[in-house]
Amino acid sequence: MIIGTAGHIDHGKTTLVKALTGVDADRLPQEKARGITLDLGYAYVPQADGSVLGFIDVPGHEKLVHNMLAGATGIDFVLLAIAADDGPMPQTREHLELLDLLGLHRGAVALTKCDAVDAARIAAARAEIDALLAGTRLQGSPVFALSATTGAGVAELRAHLDAAAAAHQARRATGRFRLAIDRCFTLSGIGTVVTGTAFSGRVGAGDTVIVAPTQRGSHGGIRARVKSLHVQDRPAAHGQAGERCALALAGDFDKQDIERGMWVVDAAVARPLTRFQAEIRVPLSQAELKHWTPVHVHLGAADITGRVALLEGEQIAPGATALAEILLDRETLTVRGDRFVLRDASARHSIAGGRVLDCFPPTRHKRSPARLALLAALGDDDPATSLHLQAGQAAAGVDLDRFAANWNLAEDAAAALWQAAGLRVVESGGQQIGFAAAGWQALGERLLAALASEHLRAPDMVGVERERLRRLTLPTLERAAFDALVAELLAAGRLSASRAWLHLPAHQASLAVGDRDLFAVLQPLLDAQAFGPPRVRDVARASGTAEDVVRQLFRRVARAGELYPVAHDHYFTADAVAQLAAIVAELNAENAAARAADLRDRIGGGRKVAIHILEFFDRIGYTRRVRDEHLLRSRDTPPEWLSR
């Protein structure tokens, strides 16, 4: 269990920690010289059961609240120090309010300096404390009258802390590893060491981690290896959620590249962001929070400036909770459920607190009823609640990798959730897209309806090209999901394919007898130069047929599926296109991509024709262009789907 002190300056927090642990948590020379705590201090006490009780001692000065918050986000138990002679003071109240906003509800009050006052004053101070805690999460916490100087009452407090630690349920080491860095230093012979509280997951010596977000390095963060680690001030093979960890890191970085406020995380959750959506609560003691208020955002161990964009109304009244988007001036890492505190632009007053709901918010329709309903569902601690609603809303499917990252789900937990939710999961470029069963069925009906509409519009066409049908079905649908949908409908006999066209099984397109006879005369001209056939004007000139007659005929033949308009007025036979598709597949197998020069060398002719052919394959969805290369959409897609 990790205990964090809180309270006004000079109310004896550090002296109390020393009385409880024997450790002076003031480690900086200037702290010892001035007699006040300036930064976070740490102390550890072994327990009878072999565990270790950790203490984080925070500064109490009003100008050092940012340091206090850096330590408070990772504690389990609050030790609120209040001097008997002063009673509750401004920083006592602010610290208590901050702890309340962070959701901390377990704690005790140390009524310090009782040796300097009489019994009447102690009784009055107790009454003041009861009034102070009323209505907060710490209401009803026990109060221990003591003197850290004389030792009176310290044993009773220590016994209570031991009992609380014994009853404490350690955080489950679920999810991927995340640690908020609150200290970074260098040790001779060891190198760079970072310390912090592990928020989730598990880490061990030899593991590869990401330190992010970087202010100087690459956007993806710094890759490092955990050489060794200390957990609760002891050498250990691994550390996990809820423990204070010191990690010795090795990698291609300098000590100055890492600082407080950064995170050490598993690579899967190293997703830097500059905005997230959350629920925000304004304490009764504060003024209303208005839309677009500039703020300091304290999240993890970081202090980042930004603004609050309200999603419900133009202000949040004191005591109220509302949904909002937080826009940051620089990157950070976070996941759903992380708590944060908002302070005003001058960093003098704490004005609100909240809980992260969505790390990947949309850029449009943020205030729509559907979006607000989803954010409300994200407030439920069961991810299945929001997954069910999101899958029902998302016709193009849910990005399951983002969903898992937002909730910090490990791979096995995510897979179990997808299965329990009955999702149809499609792999797309290394990512997963999930569809509700009803939504997947509706997509199939939508595709068939789009085909039926096209058949009515153009009955003489054999069908619709795949990429065009995907856009007609749902433009935002990923190609991999569309291909999976088509495969299921083909297997069920509800859809048919003729070369590159998809059509309903009952639909047929055929040429008129006159068109068939004329095409039989002209086709040899195309077959003679299969990979570089003459254009419409050249066919017309060679055959003595009017150019417009040839053009209209070729359009009708293309609708029937026997020609392809590879470029303007440039038609290739279906057999030629099937052969070209096979060649493009071979080039991809040999060179990992097809390029115009390689295709030209393989088929002969000019480079311009090769470019037109590759652009045609891009257009119908057989390939996709990446700069000057053309990659197969799917390595599993055989060229035969363009053949007879």
Dmax (CA) for the chain in angstroms is 120
Strand pairing report for 191-200 and 244-251: antiparallel
pLDDT in tens, 613-622: 999 999 988 9
184-193, 439-448, 631-640, range with the lowest pLDDT: 631-640
For residue 644, name the pLDDT band (cuts at 50, 70, 90).
Answer: very low
How many residues are there in the chain?
644
Instruction: Assess contact for 244 and 231: CB atoms under 8 A.
Output: yes
CATH 1.10.10.10 assigned to 513-642 = yes
The whole-angstrom separation of Cα 296 and Cα 425 is 40
Complete DSSP assignment for 302-369: EEEEEEEEESSSSEE-TT-EEEEEEEEEEEE---TT-EEEEEETTSSSEEEEEEEEESS--SS-TTSH
Instruction: Assess contact for 351 and 101: CB atoms under 8 A.
Output: no
How far are the Cα atoms of 94, 120, 588, 590, 630 from residue 599, in angstroms, in the given order? Answer: 71, 96, 11, 12, 11
- Torsion angle of alpha carbons 197, 199, 202, 208, nearest 10°? -80
> Residue 196: which residues within 8 A CB-CB, separation 6 or more?
74, 179, 180, 181, 182, 183, 244, 245, 264, 301
Question: Whose structure tokens read 């069920």?
Answer: 492
The whole-angstrom separation of Cα 586 and Cα 623 is 13
Instruction: Assess contact for 62 and 91: CB atoms under 8 A.
Output: yes
Looking at the predicted structure, is the pLDDT value of residue 565 above 90? yes
Looking at the predicted structure, is the pLDDT value of residue 251 above 60? yes
Complete DSSP assignment for 472-526: HH-TTS-HHHHHHHHHHHHHTTS-EEETTEEE-TT------HHHHHHHHHHHHHH
Question: Whose structure tokens read 């060491």?
Answer: 193
Amino acid at 210: I
241-250, 303-312, 470-479, 510-519, range with the lowest pLDDT: 510-519
Domains 178-269 and 273-358 share a fold: yes
Count of helix runs (H) and strand runs (E) in the chain: 19, 33
Q: What angle do CA 273, 385, 439 make, to 5 degrees?
A: 90
For 577, phi then psi, to 5°, come to -65, -40
pLDDT of residue 638: 47
Top-level class of domain 380-509? mainly alpha
512 or 614, greater pLDDT:
614
Q: What angle do CA 526, 587, 609 make, to 5 degrees?
A: 35
H/E element, 78: strand 77-83
Give the mean pLDDT of 412-430.
Answer: 95
Fold of 2-167: Rossmann fold (3.40.50)
As beta bridge partners, residue 327 has 275, 307
For residue 31, name the pLDDT band (cuts at 50, 70, 90).
Answer: low
Looking at the predicted structure, is the pLDDT value of residue 30 above 80? no
Q: Which CATH number fits domain 178-269: 2.40.30.10, 3.30.750.210, 1.10.1040.10, 1.20.58.220?
A: 2.40.30.10
As beta bridge partners, residue 277 has 325, 358
Give the mean pLDDT of 221-249.
Answer: 95
Percent of the chain predicted with pLDDT > 90: 81
Looking at the predicted structure, is the pLDDT value of residue 276 above 60? yes
CB neighbourhood size of 478 (10 A)? 18
Q: What average pLDDT is seen over the chain? A: 92
34-38, 347-351, 421-425, 609-613, range with the lowest pLDDT: 34-38
Looking at the predicted structure, is the pLDDT value of residue 508 above 60? yes
pLDDT of residue 170: 79
pLDDT of residue 427: 93
Question: Taking the mean position of all CA atoms in its chain, how far away is CA 114?
Answer: 50
Q: What angle do CA 325, 327, 333 make, to 5 degrees?
A: 95
Give the mean pLDDT of 577-582.
Answer: 94
| CA nearest neighbour of 73 among 165, 180, 213 | 180
> Residue 528: which residues within 8 A CB-CB, separation 6 or more?
none
Amino acid at 588: N
| CA nearest neighbour of 201 among 4, 353, 39, 410 | 410
CB neighbourhood size of 368 (10 A)? 12
pLDDT of residue 70: 83
pLDDT of residue 636: 47
Instruction: Assess contact for 374 and 393: CB atoms under 8 A.
Output: yes
Strand pairing report for 202-204 and 208-212: unpaired
Give the mean pLDDT of 213-235.
Answer: 85
How far are the Cα atoms of 206, 240, 249, 250, 467 from residue 203, in angstroms, in the given order? Answer: 9, 6, 12, 15, 45
Tokens of 279: 């629920």
| CA nearest neighbour of 54 among 195, 202, 247 | 195
Strand pairing report for 107-112 and 570-573: unpaired
The whole-angstrom separation of Cα 437 and Cα 388 is 11
| CA nearest neighbour of 620 among 630, 605, 607 | 630
Looking at the predicted structure, is the pLDDT value of residue 134 above 60? yes
pLDDT in tens, 354-403: 999 999 999 999 999 999 999 999 999 999 999 999 999 999 999 999 99
pLDDT of residue 635: 54
Q: Is the dihedral of CA 322, 364, 265, 336 positive or negative?
A: positive
Fold of 273-358: Elongation Factor Tu (Ef-tu); domain 3 (2.40.30)
Looking at the predicted structure, is the pLDDT value of residue 484 above 60? yes
Looking at the predicted structure, is the pLDDT value of residue 288 above 80? yes
pLDDT of residue 62: 67
What are the residue ranges spanned by the domains of the chain? 2-167, 178-269, 273-358, 380-509, 513-642
Instruction: Assess contact for 180 and 197: CB atoms under 8 A.
Output: yes
